């Protein structure tokens, strides 16, 4: 975090809990692309949303190291449950270790596999809060797979919708860039979707908040 605005934001945000700080260090030391973790400021934002909504059922698509998982679980209702889906089985042991260290093993259900294969097994759930942070070219597919299960007034959050600024119209696409057009198309699609009310936040790499209205 070298940008002065990012540093200022971090200094004026609630401190990163020690367990999450430990996970941040481990992620940077042991995993490729550690920037995929939500990190301090975004993590506190997710925690805040969770505390404000007190969700009974949370769905996370894309666990990575489990950082956002722990943040989203902080505000769960007393009998709440968080389902999180991770495609890479090599990450399972770390995720389970940190979930256990946080004392929330009974509140988190980890599913290993491709999200579009796992989600049909969760069709009976009604989601209060959904966090989509997996492969970006499938954002639209994930959204369509879960939006009808989100209760009216529930919230979907989609990460990386700025896509490093490449979503801006003036950005010149590079040959072979298949992700950016799909991120742009998804952002445009949900902006017009009558089922949700969108708010686009330029926090970190962009968070799209979608309140379910119908």
For 15-26, the pLDDT digits (tens) are 999 999 999 999
- 58-74, pLDDT tens digit by residue? 999 999 999 999 999 99
Domain encompassing residue 123: 4-212
Report the CATH number that the domain containing residue 94 is assigned in CATH: 3.40.50.150
Q: What is the pLDDT of residue 2?
A: 63
The CA-atom distances, in angstroms, between 36 and each of 22, 33, 76, 134, 193 are 16, 6, 23, 10, 27
Q: What is the pLDDT of residue 214?
A: 75
Entry pTM: 0.95
Say if residues 40 and 13 touch (Cβ distance below 8 Å). Answer: yes
CA distance 2 to 100: 32
Low-confidence ranges of the chain (pLDDT < 50): none
- What is the arrangement of strands in the sheet containing 127-132, beginning at the earlier edge strand? 108-112, 81-86, 57-61, 127-132, 150-159, 207-212, 196-201
Q: How many domains does the chain have?
A: 1
**Cβ contacts of 124 within 8 Å, gap of 6 or more:** none
């Amino acid at each position: 975090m070298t940008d002065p605005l990012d540093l200022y934001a971090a200094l004026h945000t609630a401190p990163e809990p020690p367990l999450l700080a430990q996970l941040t260090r481990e992620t940077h030391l042991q995993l490729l692309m550690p920037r995929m973790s939500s990190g301090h400021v975004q993590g506190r934002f997710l925690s805040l949303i969770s505390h404000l909504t007190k969700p009974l059922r949370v769905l996370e698509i894309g666990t990575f190291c489990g950082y956002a998982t722990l943040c989203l679980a902080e505000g769960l209702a007393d009998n709440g449950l968080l389902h999180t889906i991770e495609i890479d089985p090599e990450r399972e042991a770390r995720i389970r270790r940190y979930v256990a260290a946080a004392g929330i093993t009974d509140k988190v259900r980890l599913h290993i596999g491709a999200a579009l294969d796992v989600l049909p097994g969760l069709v009976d759930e009604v989601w209060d809060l959904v966090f989509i942070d997996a492969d970006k070219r499938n954002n639209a597919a994930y959204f369509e797979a879960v939006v009808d299960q989100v209760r009216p007034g529930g919230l979907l959050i989609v990460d990386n919708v700025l896509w490093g600024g490449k979503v801006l119209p003036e950005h010149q696409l590079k040959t072979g860039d298949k992700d950016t057009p799909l991120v742009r198309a998804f952002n445009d699609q949900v902006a017009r979707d009558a089922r949700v009310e969108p708010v686009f936040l330029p926090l970190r790499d962009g968070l799209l908040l979608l309140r379910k209205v119908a």
